[in-house]
Amino acid sequence: MASLKDMRVRIAATKATQKITKAMQMVAASKLRRAQVAAEAARPYAERMDKVLRNIMRAVGDMASAPKLLAGTGSARRHLLLVCTAERGLCGPFNATIVRLARERATALANEGKEVRFFCVGRKGYDQLKRLHERQIVETVELRGVRQVGFDHAAAIGEKIVALYEQGAFDVCTLFFSRFRSVMAQIPTAQQIIPAVFPDPAADAAAAAAIYEYEPDEEDILAELLPRNISVQIFRALLENAASEQGARMSAMDNATRNAGEMIRKQTLRYNRTRQAMITKELIEIISGAEAL
């Protein structure tokens, strides 16, 4: 049985932990708003980029003459999974859900006889994936110390992905990230970015009715826009991740603070009961000794 001193030390340690989790919750709450605004502001641009590329793709008569980033290599045997996670933990299941989705996709592809490689953005994703897939990780990019993710970070990652594609390292690239919905809900998402995949043009009646003339040719525009679209989609994923991370951390630290409060209550109750029992025992011993005299 723990002594009263041990109990006091334990209560003090739990109170110190509660102060830390409360402070982390407040910091995450202060960062969340800015990250959420940035993520929501990036969505219209990424969606408009998809729409422009979809319209240009419709105007391309022969897909064989289209850039490889759109037409593909003609094979789907080698897959690259671009897994974007956070640099830090203490954010609940945020990192684990993204990695789990990537692992499930890798397992499904491996069962189909496909070759799978990983490109990790974020230290936490790499730490989890290297346990089972260390030999399959082709590169890792860490954004440690970056206060605000910028488009230059996404562009650098996009350039590496395009370079690997041009070298023939993979046929299909899928981006994994967590889409921000609310503080309580972050949705793990998989999006194929190479070759580019767009909704069925026939389903977009308004776009089908519009007729565009392009200068220069459609193929030249696609050759310029497709690499940029990859960077745009990666940038959007990084911003969504940043907002999801802060939301998940805020929720996790709030739960931790509540749990610490409950532990303090139980530990204090146990301490008081133990102390009262010791006092009662001492009183009984004093009374028994007095009666013996």
pLDDT by residue (tens digit) across 30-70? 999 999 999 999 989 888 888 888 888 777 666 666 778 88
Looking at the whole model, is its pTM more than 0.95? no
The three-state secondary structure class of 77 is coil
Res 31: pLDDT: 92
The percentage of the chain sitting over the pLDDT mark of 90, rounded to a whole number, equals 61
Res 64: pLDDT: 62
Report, as an integer, the average pLDDT of 163-177. Answer: 93
Res 205: pLDDT: 47
Count CB-CB contacts under 10 A for residue 200: 7
Res 260: pLDDT: 95
- At residue 29 the predicted structure's pLDDT band, cuts being 50, 70 and 90, is very high
The per-residue pLDDT for range 207-260, each reduced to its tens digit, is 444 566 666 777 778 888 888 999 999 999 999 999 999 999 999 999 999 999
Q: Which residues are catalytic?
A: 91
Look at phi and psi of residue 151 and say left if phi exceeds 0, alpha if psi is from -120 to 50, else beta.
Answer: alpha
Lowest mean pLDDT among 5-19, 82-96, 279-293: 279-293
Alpha-carbon torsion, ordered 120, 171, 192, 135, to 10 deg: -20
Res 50: pLDDT: 83
Distance CA 293, CA 291 (A): 5
Res 51: pLDDT: 84
Distance of CA 71 to the CA centre of its chain: 29
Average pLDDT over the chain reads 88
| pLDDT exceeds cutoff 90 at 164 | yes
Query: Domain 21-200+220-252 has what CATH class?
Result: alpha beta
Distance CA 239, CA 39 (A): 5
The percentage of the chain sitting over the pLDDT mark of 70, rounded to a whole number, equals 90
